[in-house]
Chain A
């Protein structure tokens, strides 16, 4: 039943349905025919079901070891564990594009399920735009990267999968990341539909915001997972390398962060409409261009997909139609949008405008650093690379200023802030933060890390101050404070939790900058001193596993003669691919990581063989990802807000004064 040919057929069917999903509702909206517009939803469901079948066919082929399918032959093998047979489906170009299209169709179906309260013509247009983007991707899949191609005669076994990808962290990194990327198709579709309608109002802002928050939270999780994976699998001891592909995921994150803040202003105050529309178009365009740059072979990256200029041309055309069309529409229609909400500079809206400017500047810096090398090479043939120094020097000052604003913004009132009151709320937090900058400087002797530490504490403390002010702690009875705590809107908690998440991530990054490491070549039973710990290499042994041979070291870590932990860093040699994968050993107490990597041993023929070890002491490292997941959690809390489930403006709960 679920044969590759059936999968190929359902993929083509999905493409046709997506095309219909794009054209029919738009025609219906043009001639004001309600029946045609109402077809949008069933078509979206049909497209989703067809693609779900196609995806199921590919997974079936992978699980049943059907090596007559070229894609399975190139990326799977009979002795691969079942989990990686399934996740291996999206560990390659063709499968990942199919996954991308599948998630896009899934979002289209969810949008049509949760948009009954939208005006019919807006709803039809949103679903049509989603269908149009999906049709483009399905066409791309069919024409340049078909995962269902057969080979004849079928070999008995496959070529296996890159062992680096056989890891649970990486198994779920692509789907979650793609959900983030593709999730931004929804605000994009809303933005284009609003431009077509010629109307952006508070209700529009309220519809767009949950989708934006959902996509943003998923993208945050996806990036955090990828960064965590590179830390504990690659064994380079780093978490972010300014690799073009990492930058390609950071760009939509930056503009998406700006988008979710300005959509809030559209909802509350009917201002920043043009900002919001442009950010929605820009964020999805950057998601798409990231894919384009990676798959076309234009950028040099460690994320090596089988790149092919023909695919690049196709995605470039797709980008031209989707983003180019949207930007043209924006240029034509945006000037007709009028903002009604007026605000002074010192207000919540003002701080969000500043936030947008800073985030977009950061995105522009990352974009410049990423695209500078290929463009310079195109213009004058010089090859160069842009690395960490550029990004650090250009981004850190902007980021520090952003942290300063971030803590004040949520405390200021909408429309016109009261400076005196804001100062009163934050004065204690400000004093403590300045003291912490001084203390940090005494310890670190470096200006930027100290500022970053102080500003992170500033973000956390100002959130706490605002919270204390809201529940009127010590100003009313404790019981009343508790009642207020329960009565605070979810949005308040979501904002502060997400902001505290940012602060925790920043503290983790500062901690990592102060990490200590040693690379040594030692015989067994040597003790190495690093960061106040004694690391003793006690033994090394080989072990045969299912599809690899493991060489495992045993390291005893002790402090002042007391054993803290045993670390088992290993190297896995995969015979089929002739590839070695390091297995990092990490011991964490959530304040620091002890991190050990076993290197290559060159001369094991000698009477006392020497082994290469890389040892790191990484203070606060786990906070980087912990902060990321806390940020995402803030986003998910926003989604539970009642206002997003009911299409009416929310009434603020009145809290009785005692």
Chain B
């Protein structure tokens, strides 16, 4: 009888494995529902890494900037990649406007024409202190961009402290502001 019990314990291993997997799946599903688990999320390993060496040409009404200028800032800067042809960027503009009173925002126009960007900023307001342009999208590759809009929080000294690969929302800006405290 004792042997049977031992074998039963051994043969319940498949069930135990399946149960663990099932528990994992259940927490994934509840995460999907709550919105804190997203298998389509993009996390690139840029947190606590220095910014790449880059230089963006000027985009009216502002002058361009480069790696050195960004490193020499004494306050944190939010780098925001955007484009005039991108609908989520348009929706993000309101949040950026509110945010611009708390932190300096520098924009990089991604694969866009200078006239189109100027028109876009005239229509929707300009939250950016500085704007550069990346018409070919090559600089964005060095930053690890996956799409527009995308934002990077750069600390003095040029270290990336936070990265958000989606349009900024009120909740995500709260996370951002708590990082600045």
Residues 24-48 of B, flagged 1 when their CB comes within 8 A of A and 0 if not, give 1111111111000101111100000
How far is the CB of A313 from the nearest CB of chain B, in Å? 5
CB distance from A266 to the nearest CB of B (A): 17
Given contacts A278-B14, A374-B24, A378-B28, 15 further A-B contacts (CB under 8 A): A285-B18, A296-B29, A296-B32, A297-B32, A297-B39, A316-B25, A323-B18, A324-B18, A327-B14, A371-B21, A373-B39, A377-B37, A378-B31, A382-B43, A383-B43
Instruction: Report whether A312 and B29 are in contact in the complex, using a CB–CB cutoff of 8 Å.
Output: yes
Q: Which residues of B contact A (CB under 8 A)?
A: 4, 7-8, 11-12, 14-15, 18-19, 21-22, 24-33, 37, 39-43
CB-CB under 8 A from B40, the residues of chain A are: 300
B15 touching A327 by the CB < 8 A rule?
A: yes
| CB <8 Å contact, A331 and B39 | no
6 smallest beta-carbon distances between A and B, as pairs:
A331-B12, A335-B7, A327-B15, A309-B32, A383-B43, A331-B11
Complex Cα distance, B28 from A313, in Å, reads 10
Residues from chain A with Cβ under 8 Å of B18 in the complex = 285, 323-324, 327
* A282 at interface, CB cutoff 8 A: yes
Is B14 within 8 A of A330, CB to CB?
yes
B167 to chain A, nearest CB (A): 19
**Bound state CA distance, A298 and B31, in angstroms?**
10
A374 and B29 form a contact (CB under 8 A): no
Does residue A319 face the partner (Cβ distance < 8 Å to B)? yes
Q: A324-B22, A371-B21 are in contact. Are A298 and B28 (CB under 8 A)?
A: yes
For B32, the chain A residues whose CB sits under 8 A away are 296-298, 309, 312
A-B contact pairs, 6 of them (CB 8 A): A296-B25, A298-B25, A316-B25, A327-B12, A327-B18, A331-B15
Nearest to A312 among chain B residues (CB) is B29
Query: Do residues A313 and B29 form an inter-chain contact, with CB atoms below 8 A?
Result: yes
- For the complex, is A332 an interface residue (Cβ under 8 Å from B)? yes
Quick one: CB contact mask for A312-329 with B, threshold 8 Å, 1 for yes?
110010011001100110
Closest chain B residue, CB of each to CB of A330: B11
Q: In the assembly, what is the distance between CA of A374 and CA of B40, in Å?
A: 10
Tell which of A300, A319, A323 touches B39, judged by Cβ atoms closer than 8 Å.
Answer: A300
The residue from A299, A324, A332 contacting B19, defined by CB atoms under 8 A apart: A324
Report yes or no: B11 in contact with A334, Cβ–Cβ below 8 A: yes
**A378 → B minimal CB distance (Å):** 6
Q: Is A336 an interface residue (CB 8 A)?
A: yes
Chain A residues with CB under 8 A of B42:
383
A330 engages B15 (CB within 8 Å): yes
Contact B14 A377 (CB under 8 A): no
Asked whether, in the complex, the Cβ of B11 is within 8 Å of the Cβ of A378, the reply is no
B15 pairs with A324, CB closer than 8 A: yes
**A327-383 with Cβ < 8 A to chain B:** 327-328, 330-332, 334-336, 371, 373-375, 377-378, 381-383
